[in-house]
Amino acid sequence: MSEAKSNALAANATGIEEQAADWLERSICEGLNAEARVSLDMWLTESPAHMVAYLRLNAAWDRTSRLAALRPVPHKMAVAVRTKRRAAGIAAAFITAVLLGAATLLLLPASDEKTYATALGKRETINLADGSRIELNTGTVLRVTDDAAGRTAWLDRGEAYFEIVHNAKHPFQVVADGRRVTDLGTKFLVRRYTASIEVALLEGRARFDAPVRAGRAQSALLVPGDVAVSASGSLAVTRKPARQLSDELGWRRGVLVFDNVTLADAAFQFNRYNSGKLVITDPAAARLAIYGTFRTGDVERFARVAQDVFGLRISHLGEQIVISR
C-alpha cells in the first residue's frame, strides 16, 4: 500500500472516531432529542465503521465510568471532565478514569471482546470455538466475549440467530438493552428494535430476564414456540407455530416470506435490506394483504406484484419506489 493511500485511510479513520466522539459527548452531556436521535441513527447506518467506532467509544466510556466509581474523582477534576468538549473531552475523561483505576485494572481478567457488524442488506455467520454458531441479519452489530466469567454476546443493534452448544459450567448469555437471555441448550432468535426486544425460541430452553419493574423481577422460562417481547417496562410471552417462526427466519436463506402480511409491513421488511425504499402513500393500499416469497433485494419484483395483483400505481422518485392508487 502506498504511503499516500495509507495516510488517507488513517485520516478517514480519525475523522470517523472524532464524529463518534462528538455524538457520544452530545448524548452524555446534553441528551438527544427525537430529531437528533434520527440523525444519529442515519449516521450509524451509513457504514459499519461508524457503528463500530461509536460502540467502541461507548464501551470505553462505560468501563471508565465503573472505574471512576471505584475511586471517586476529586470535585474540581470531575467538573473539568464534564466541561470538556468533543473528542478531546471524551479522551480526557478516559485518561482520568484509567489513571485512577489502574491498580483495579491489574486485578481484573482480560476480556477478548470481538465486534461484528453487517452492512445494509448483508449477512454474516460467526463460528465460535466451542461449535456454537451465530448468524447476523442486515444492519446488525454484535459484540462477543469468551472468558473465565462466561460466554456473552451483546446485541447492540439488529437481529441475530443463535445455535448454542450448551455448557452448564460456562453459560452463554445474550444481553440487549438491559435484557438478558441465558442459554439452556438452545436455538433462538433475538431482535432489537428501537423500543423493544423480542426473543423467539425454536429449540431447547432459555431464560429471559428483563429489568426489575415496581420491585418485581420480570423473567420467563421459554420453551419452543414461545416469543417473549419486552417493551415499555412490560414482558409478554405468546406462542407462534413452528412454520411461522421458520418463515420469519427466511432471511437466513436470503428471502422474505409473507403469509397474509400487509403491504405496509412487507415494505418495512424490504426497507431493512435495501437503500432503495418502498413508500406506500395510500392508507387503504397499505392495509392490503399479500402472500409470497421474495429475495430480500428484489424490491422491483415486489412492486410489480403489488401493481399486477391489486392494480396499484408504481412510480420512481429518486431511490424511492412509490406505491399508490
- Asked if pLDDT for residue 322 goes beyond 80, the answer is yes
Across the range 17-45, mean pLDDT stands at: 67
Q: Which is higher by pLDDT, 259 or 10?
A: 259
Q: Which of 53-57, 188-192, 239-243, 273-277 has the lowest mean pLDDT?
A: 53-57
pLDDT tens by residue, 125-156: 999 988 999 999 999 999 998 776 679 999 99
pLDDT for 161 equals 98
- Asked if pLDDT for residue 112 goes beyond 80, the answer is no
Looking at mean pLDDT, say which of 176-180, 211-215, 303-307 comes out highest.
303-307
- Asked if pLDDT for residue 277 goes beyond 70, the answer is yes
pLDDT for 37 equals 62
pLDDT band for position 31 (50/70/90)?
low
Domain boundaries, given as residue ranges, for the chain: 3-107, 113-245, 254-324
pLDDT band for position 250 (50/70/90)?
very high
pLDDT for 49 equals 75
pLDDT for 7 equals 52
Q: Helices (DSSP H) in 242-286: which residue ranges?
A: 242-248, 263-271, 283-286
pLDDT tens by residue, 214-229: 556 689 999 999 999 9
pLDDT tens by residue, 36-93: 665 676 677 666 677 777 776 766 655 554 444 344 444 444 444 444 444 455 555 4
Do 94 and 102 contact (CB within 8 A), yes or no? no
pLDDT for 217 equals 66
Average pLDDT, the chain: 80
Measured CA to CA, the distance from residue 26 to residue 293 in angstroms comes to 43
pLDDT for 68 equals 44
> What kind of fold does domain 254-324 have according to CATH?
Phage tail protein beta-alpha-beta fold (3.55.50)
Residue 203, CA distances (Å) to 126, 211, 226, 259, 322 in order: 19, 25, 10, 23, 40
Q: What is the DSSP letter of 112?
A: -
- Assign domain 113-245 one CATH number from 2.130.10.10, 2.60.120.1440, 1.10.3720.10, 3.20.20.70: 2.60.120.1440
Beta-strand runs (E) in the chain = 113-117, 124-127, 133-136, 141-147, 150-163, 172-176, 179-192, 196-213, 216-222, 226-231, 234-239, 255-262, 278-280, 289-295, 313-317, 320-324
Q: Quick one: which H or E segment has residue 103?
A: helix 102-107
- Asked if pLDDT for residue 253 goes beyond 60, the answer is yes
Percent of the chain with pLDDT over 70: 70
Looking at mean pLDDT, say which of 30-39, 58-67, 266-275 comes out highest.
266-275
The per-residue b/e assignment along 6-17, b for 16 or more CB within 10 angstroms, e otherwise, is: eeeeeeeeeebb
